[in-house]
Amino acid sequence: DTAVSQTPKYLVTQMGNDKSIKCEQNLGHDTMYWYKQDSKKFLKIMFSYNNKELIINETVPNRFSPKSPDKAHLNLHINSLELGDSAVYFCASSHRTGGIGTDTQYFGPGTRLTVL
């Protein structure tokens, strides 16, 4: 029944560790996204994939590496975690029609990452 799902929902870890967040969508969409929402609630796009191809790669530290094994999955791996990485990370998906600027995005429940 779930449309866009993420695991884990909460992630608490120490500085310097490496962690991954997984995202899956069962909507049949071909475009997926990673967003970061900081403590001030600003929602910023990090990456986007269309049919497993990276189409948006914002100015994000190269410690963040997305990977899309297939259209329905988009994972985010973060190396050497820093305090400033603490945020809520949202995965989203959309069906490409006129372009990502016109497509409706459906968000997952989010992963709250806390780096200690």
Partner 1 sequence: QQPVQSPQAVILREGEDAVINCSSSKALYSVHWYRQKHGEAPVFLMILLKGGEQKGHDKISASFNEKKQQSSLYLTASQLSYSGTYFCGTAQAAGNKLTFGGGTRVLVKP
- Tell me the per-residue interface mask from 61 to 100 with partner 1, x by CB under 8 A, - otherwise: -----------------------------x-------xxx
Closest by CA to 8, choosing from 59, 56, 67, 76, is 76
Nearer to partner 1, 78 or 108 (CB): 108
Contact 11, 115 (CB under 8 A): no
- CB of residue 45 to partner 1, shortest distance in Å: 5
109 contacts partner 1 (rule: CB under 8 A): yes
Give the C-alpha separation, 92 to 17, whole Å.
Answer: 25
28 contacts partner 1 (rule: CB under 8 A): no
Give the C-alpha separation, 89 to 35, whole Å.
Answer: 6
